[in-house]
Amino acid sequence: MSNIVVNYIFNRDKSSVRPGDLSKLTHLNIAFGKLQNDCNITVDHLSLISDIAFFKSHNPNLKVLLSIGSGAPEAFSNGASTKENRKKIAQSCASLLSKYDLDGIDYDWEYPCCPSNGIASSPNDKENFTELCREIRTALDKITSKHCLFTIAAGGDAFYLDFTEMDKVQQYLDYVFVMTYDLRCGFHSLTGHHTNLYRSTGDLFRTSCKDALTLFNKAGVPMEKLVLGVALYSRQWLDVPATNNGFLQLVSTHGGYGPNYTKLKSDFIDKNGYVRYWDDEAKAPYLFNGNNFITYDDPQSVAAKCDYAKEINCAGAFAWEYGCDTTGELLDAMYQNLK
């Protein structure tokens, strides 16, 4: 049964949490605890940690996880590089779960072996990541009072599978949050969907949510551990030719971040010269005003994603990230179509 509904939340969203939304979630991932070069994870900057009791008062069944990000460019690769460092990270994870009323750890290394995100990397990251996950799972299993969840966020394309051993890593994980967004991003000068469920005919970049989950499953991750991603923000290209409503056009700009869903709803969707188009093949919307192209998720595309999640019996869906949709429409679409 595909039924988990997950959202990531930043500290800056603390004041905007709506109690009604908490009742629609099964999991809430607090982003980010910071992995430091000394292999300890710091959370002093996260006032959300003190709100866990508040979250659970509105949903006693809610699982709250701490997502781990990098506190320094070298932290991830260095932290995984030796057995001593891996044990330190694992113990830091376990200590945080024991200290706070957390239900698990979500590890967000973007990405092993890959320096393109401005972080340190090594060819040895591939095997070291597997060993790190083994150490974290072992440390969490020593907390006998409850089952501690261990999840990761994973890049939604073949490169991530090339840089990891997912057939081995998955045995230590409860879920893999496959980031099926940014499939078009700042690396691309061809306009197109960034979080499409299926491929579109004529698209040179053969990426989609379906392709990503299929690749992970074939790489050895059981379908029931895979979680499909929903984007609460957009990507946009400027100075786009007014051909094919701006879709699949080669331009001199790249797919930078566009408005979040709150802003799209108030100022862009069929407003201020922007027209909403629906690609029924990809099950994805986009906007074009004759010059600018915007790709995003909306309730219709989210419903299609959730229907697909149920069809393939994957674990469910997650969203990045809570503060980008103050309307609550996209979370509600996830909840209504999965629960």
Q: ω into residue 216 within 30 of 0, thus cis?
A: no
Contact 325, 232 (CB under 8 A): yes
Report how far residue 121's alpha carbon sits from residue 124's, in angstroms, rounded to the nearest whole number: 8
The structure tokens 């997502």 sit at 67
Locus of tokens 């081995």: 168
Asked whether 210 and 201 are in contact (CB, 8 A), the reply is no
Neighbours of 182 (CB within 10 A): 22
Task: Exactly one of 74, 110, 165, 224 is catalytic; name it.
Answer: 110
Active site residue 165: no
Residue 136, CA atoms < 13 Å, CB-side half-sphere:
32
Do the strands 226-231 and 275-279 form a parallel or antiparallel pair, or are they unpaired?
unpaired
User: CA-to-CA distance for 204 and 102, rounded, in angstroms?
Assistant: 43
Tokens of 114: 């890959």
Active site residues: 110
